[in-house]
Amino acid sequence: MLTTHLMMEFVLLEIPFESVPPLIIIAVLFIFGFLMGTLAQILTQRVMIDVIPNKIRNSVYSLQPTLVMIVAIPLMLISGDMISRLGFPPVFVILAGLAVIGVLLIREAFKHPIPSASDIKDSVQDEEEIQLIGEPLQEES
């Protein structure tokens, strides 16, 4: 008798049937969005390799996450406050609009022609010459 009262039923996840289709749609959208984001990131990295000279590529790669965090942290704070004031749907629409604006800016940037390697070498050499010319002359004592 004692053992029948101690038996417990373990349920991992109990979901009402009405919630299953939205959950499937959300899962498919997130997976599709992740795949598209990964593909876009691969293509963007390829363009950056072609455009950014080897000499400064590491600096640019380290600057990217810094700029992302400078923008993302205040955006999270502001959007969190806006969710408590306006509710989730309007804030979600605003953030989706910002994402679309970002995509349009990237699309506009990719419309420009990719410079050839000789153009990049010439511009780096010009910058080095300007730095050499711009250095102050040391006075002899």
C-beta atoms surrounding 121 within 10 Å: 12
The three-state secondary structure class of 63 is: helix
pLDDT digits (tens), the chain, 141 positions: 455 555 556 666 777 778 888 889 989 999 998 898 888 888 888 878 877 878 888 888 888 889 989 999 999 999 999 999 999 899 999 999 998 998 898 889 888 887 666 666 666 566 666 555 555 555 555
**Residues 48, 51: Cα–Cα separation, whole Å:** 5
pLDDT at 136: 54
Are 52 and 60 spatial neighbours (Cβ–Cβ below 8 Å)? yes
Residue 52, amino acid: I
Tokens standing for residue 61: 């790669």
Alpha-carbon gap, residue 85 to 87, rounded angstroms = 6
> Both tokens of residue 122?
């010439």
pTM of the predicted structure, to 2 decimals = 0.55
